[in-house]
Amino acid sequence: MSAKLVFAFAVVFFAAPALASIVNGSFESGDDTAWSSFVPPGGALSVLGSAGFVGGEGGLWSPTHGNYFALLQTDGPGSYTEMWQSFVAVGSAVLSFDVFFDAGDYLPFNDSAFAELSSDGGLTWATLWYRDVAMVGDLWHDGWTTVSQSLGAGAYILRFRIANDLDSEFESTMGVDNVALSIPIPAPQAALLGAVGVSLLLAVRRRLAA
């Protein structure tokens, strides 16, 4: 392999920005390791396996990635079961996760669930995803939904939370799985990567033919 090709590989792979990862984003440890949480009396935070969970009228829930997912449930009114993780993005990144809301109650008991992001240490929160009983219907659900958010460099907190509304008779649930950070490859860098791949292939063929 020529020195030029080696240098081209270095440009492609080492010029990319570093990226701090979400830890245990698919809960493959079998528990909530690396996540902080608050669970009020009567609430629950569980990590469930591929057997899934039967909640509300939603039927059986299974993981979207790997063998586990997190399930949040609360007993209200007005108290939130919460789960959160702090992370640092170095350079541009895309945050993504899968989430569902399963309404175990009916209106006017409008249980609600949030996925939120803070970039100022938890002083303010941007809502990335929201569901409530009014949105999905009495005793129904919205299915697994994939949410993506572009981020700049900085420190962030990702938080998931769910609350019961007005009473504590019937609890709704929220599932979370496949929380991840990825690096979008800029178009010029992607083109360079393709060019390097073609050059390497040609170089290998020439050497084999020699």
Architecture per CATH, domain 19-184, reads as Sandwich (2.60)
User: Which pTM was predicted?
Assistant: 0.80
Nearest by Cα to 134 from 117, 113, 160, 148: 113
Q: What is the pLDDT of residues 31-56, one digit of tens each?
A: 999 999 999 988 999 999 876 776 65
Asked if pLDDT for residue 106 goes beyond 80, the answer is yes
- Rounded CA separation 80/92 (Å): 31
Sheet of 126-132: strand order equals 36-38, 80-89, 154-163, 112-118, 126-132
Q: What is the pLDDT of residues 64-92, one digit of tens each?
A: 999 999 999 988 777 899 999 999 999 99
Beta strands in the chain (DSSP E): 36-38, 44-48, 53-54, 60-61, 69-73, 80-89, 93-102, 112-118, 126-132, 145-151, 154-163, 173-182
